[in-house]
Amino acid sequence: MPSIITKLTLFLITVLSCACGGNQAVQPMHPAIVQITQHENPTQFIGEGRLSHPADFIEFTVTIQSECYPTAFAASQASDRSSKKVVAALREFVDAGQSKDGVFFKGGFSAPFSRYVNSQLSVCQNTFQKTASVTLKTSKIEKFSKGFDEIQKIVFESGTASPPQQSRSEKGLTYVSIKTPETQLYYETRERLEQQALADALDNARKKFESTAKMACGVSGYKILRFVESSPSAGRPIAYGRSQPSSTGGSLAFDAIWVNKLLTVSFDAESKTCR
């Protein structure tokens, strides 16, 4: 695959012809037009490239927390029982023909535990906890979207839905939490979109320059001196955008992922005297 530099430099051979007549002038005169006409310092334009692409896969994570168990082994057993149920449910959404699909388990280890109630009373002293997470990566987006209600049902049957934050109970408990499903792109898709967005941003800046140069007298051509990707920290749009999934009749709907790139491009106009 051609490098992004190779793609971008294809635009550098573009030549602009400008026909000027008499003593025509543009009022009011834009600063960029003055720069171009008088052949002052290089003129800069910001180009934008924006693309959208359907998600390649969905990433969905379930966290299983077991706490207040008398021994480390008991906490581990409780966590593992719930984790196995979640793993079995999520495997139904894995495409066996897609090597990047899978269910990934992170078990961790048991650790000492105690719970504070109202920042004063400590319960479950000298007990143990274990935290595990199960992550599904699936390219079966439509099947996952339609089956999400069933997934939630199975997940929440494997433990309670929320932690006992202010409970004084010293009974062992396992609870689960789910993270909002996220759409993702494969690395090769993301790289291709980034390259195309940068090329489009350069082309967008070039068109802005050409449009402005047409209003400037004496421009015979131009060259691109340099281009730099604009910093997202400067209040510009982020590189990637995802919308939150919306519920539609018991299933989820995911919008396409968009990629946004900005380039600051410096142009040097080749000028001749206007008459």
Domain ranges of the chain: 4-54+186-271, 57-184
In angstroms, the CA 240 to CA 192 distance is: 14
Closest CA to 178 of 88, 63, 31: 63
Say what the pLDDT of residue 21 is: 38
pLDDT above 70 coverage of the chain, percent: 70
First to last CA, the chain: 48
Residue 275 identity (one-letter amino acid): R
Q: Is the torsion defined by CA of 31, 37, 39, 43 positive or negative?
A: positive
Q: Is the peptide bond before 112 cis (omega within 30 degrees of 0)?
A: no
Q: Kindly state the average pLDDT of the residues 149-153.
A: 89
Say what the pLDDT of residue 31 is: 55
Q: Kindly state the average pLDDT of the residues 175-201.
A: 92
Say what the pLDDT of residue 226 is: 87
* Second CATH level (architecture) for the domain 57-184: 2-Layer Sandwich (3.30)
Say what the pLDDT of residue 28 is: 47
Within 10 angstroms of residue 28's Cβ, the number of other Cβ atoms is: 7
Tell me the CB-side half-sphere exposure of residue 22, using CA atoms within 13 A: 4
Average pLDDT of the chain to the nearest whole number: 78
Tell me the CB-side half-sphere exposure of residue 65, using CA atoms within 13 A: 14
Is 60 exceeded by the pLDDT of residue 76? Answer: yes
pLDDT band with cut points at 50, 70 and 90 for residue 246: low
pTM of the predicted model over 0.85: no
Rounded to the nearest angstrom, the gap between the alpha carbon of residue 242 and the centroid of all alpha carbons in its chain is: 6
Q: Which of 93-97, 161-165, 187-191, 244-248 has the lowest mean pLDDT?
A: 244-248
Say what the pLDDT of residue 235 is: 39
CA angle at 243 for the pair 237 and 245, rounded to the nearest 5°: 170
pLDDT band with cut points at 50, 70 and 90 for residue 242: low
Tell me the CB-side half-sphere exposure of residue 15, using CA atoms within 13 A: 5
Do 225 and 267 contact (CB within 8 A), yes or no? yes
Higher pLDDT, 5 or 129: 129
Say what the pLDDT of residue 122 is: 80
